């Protein structure tokens, strides 16, 4: 059920991106950008999990949306939408926030 829910949220994010008139090819260009947060795994699983989780929690893109709403800094909204879409896509595929022990040990797999 969680995968279905996140799949629907991914479609919503994509639809909003297109609805607001942003070029849809930018959506796909930037969709995998949050996975750069895996860089910490080069040092250790614990550091990797911590850095990865910073890029894969909804807290930061939602904060960007709030900042956009109060400042009207137009570049923030498409960034936040694509960032949310990435998180929804990952969770649809069964990837979640990481535990420090191993890359494939996530909060989605432990439900």
pLDDT tens, the chain, 111 aa long:
889 999 999 999 999 999 999 998 999 999 999 999 999 999 999 999 999 999 999 999 999 999 999 999 999 999 999 999 999 999 999 888 988 877 777 777 655
**pLDDT at site 99:** 86
Q: How many CB atoms lie within 10 A of CB 9?
A: 18
- Which tokens in the block code for residue 85? 């879409």
pTM: 0.91
Domain boundaries, the chain: 2-92
**pLDDT at site 110:** 57
Q: How far apart are CA 93 and CA 77, in angstroms?
A: 24
- What is the greatest pairwise CA distance in the chain? 42
């Amino acid at each position: 059920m969680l995968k279905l829910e996140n799949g629907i949220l991914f479609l919503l994010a994509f639809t909003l991106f297109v609805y607001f008139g942003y070029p849809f090819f930018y959506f796909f260009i930037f969709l995998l950008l949050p996975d750069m947060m895996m860089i910490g795994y080069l040092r250790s699983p614990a550091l990797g999990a911590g850095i990865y989780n910073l890029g894969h929690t909804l807290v930061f893109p939602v904060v960007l949306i709030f900042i956009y709403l109060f400042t009207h800094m137009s570049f923030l909204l498409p960034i936040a939408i694509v960032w949310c879409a990435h998180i929804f896509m990952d969770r649809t595929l069964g990837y979640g926030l990481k535990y420090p022990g191993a890359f494939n040990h996530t909060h989605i797999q432990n439900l």
